[in-house]
């Protein structure tokens, strides 16, 4: 899965999406309910690094598959919406399977 640009994007997208959901939960529960002000410092940095990796993987997939700007823009926008990366993962999986069937033929 790490051998293709879409495979790398899929893995990083899932991890980044989960870190975003964790960050939202953690910030609401720990910071707002418990009142711990520094609660999201470390999870926020981790999520930020994962988001940067996601952007790099998205650029890599865009260049490798010669996508027009529309597809990467939609994937990027989906990364900003909670649970939207699930739909991106489904679409990327179909693209990955399509690419594998073309190369194996």
What domain count does the chain have?
1
In a domain, 104, yes or no: no
In a domain, 103, yes or no: no
Instruction: Please write the tens of the pLDDT for every residue from 68-80.
Output: 999 999 999 999 9
Split at pLDDT 50, 70, 90, the class of 105 is low
Split at pLDDT 50, 70, 90, the class of 83 is confident
Range of the domain at 10: 5-98
Q: Which of 31, 98, 85 is nearest to 58 (CA)?
A: 85
pLDDT at position 28 over 80? yes
In a domain, 105, yes or no: no
Angle, CA 36 vertex, CA 14 and CA 45 arms, to 5°: 35
- pTM value is 0.85
Query: Over the range 45-81, which residues count as b (16 or more CB within 10 Å of their CB) and which as e?
Result: eebeebbebbeebbebbbeeeeeeeeebeebeebbee
- CB of 34 closer than 8 Å to CB of 59: no
Split at pLDDT 50, 70, 90, the class of 100 is confident
């Amino acid at each position: 899965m790490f051998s293709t640009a879409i495979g790398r994007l899929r893995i990083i997208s899932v991890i980044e999406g989960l870190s975003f959901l964790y960050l939202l939960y953690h910030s609401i529960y720990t910071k707002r309910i418990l009142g711990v002000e520094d609660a999201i410092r470390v999870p926020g940095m981790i999520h930020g690094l994962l988001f940067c990796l996601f952007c790099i993987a998205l650029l890599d997939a865009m260049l490798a598959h010669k996508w027009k700007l529309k597809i990467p823009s939609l994937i990027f926008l989906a990364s900003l919406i909670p649970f939207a990366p699930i739909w991106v993962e489904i679409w990327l999986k179909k693209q990955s399977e399509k690419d594998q069937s073309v190369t194996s033929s």
